[in-house]
Structure formats: structure tokens, C-alpha cells
Amino acid sequence: MNISYWIAAGPLALFYCYAGTLKAIRSRDQLRPMMAWVDRIPLPAVRVLGTVEILGATGLVLP
């Protein structure tokens, strides 16, 4: 069971970390081609969402 958890959690944590880092670092113009919804949400909210995704990835790796 432990091995199956790490097989599922590892790639998921990498994806969350990648997506969260993009949202936390990139500007709205750089995010627009990948995520069209960033125009409808304030930029600080996008930054908070990116930070929460990075924390979620950390939570998957450090159970």
C-alpha cells in the first residue's frame, strides 16, 4: 500500500509544484496562453492559489 501511495503521490506532487510555481512567479501575460481564466481573477488571488498548490504538493510528499 505504501508503494502504491508513492507511485500516485509522486507525480501528482510534481504537477502541483510545477503549476503552483508558474502561478506564483509568472505575470498575467505569461499565464494567459496556458490559463485563459486568469483575466477574470485578480492577480493576488492567482498568486495565493499558486502558493496553496505548492503547499499541497508539500503535504503530499511529507505525510
As a whole number of angstroms, the distance between CA 50 and CA 58 comes to 13
As a whole number of angstroms, the distance between CA 49 and CA 33 comes to 18
C-alpha cell at position 12: 501528482
With a cut of 90, say whether residue 63 has pLDDT above it: no
pLDDT, tens digit, for every residue of 9-36?
Answer: 999 999 999 999 999 999 999 999 999 9
Name the 3-class secondary structure at 32. coil
Q: Burial level of 38, CB count in 10 A (0-12/13-18/19+)?
A: buried
Other C-beta atoms lying within 10 Å of the C-beta of residue 48? 13
Q: What pLDDT, on a 0 to 100 scale, did the predictor assign at position 19?
A: 95
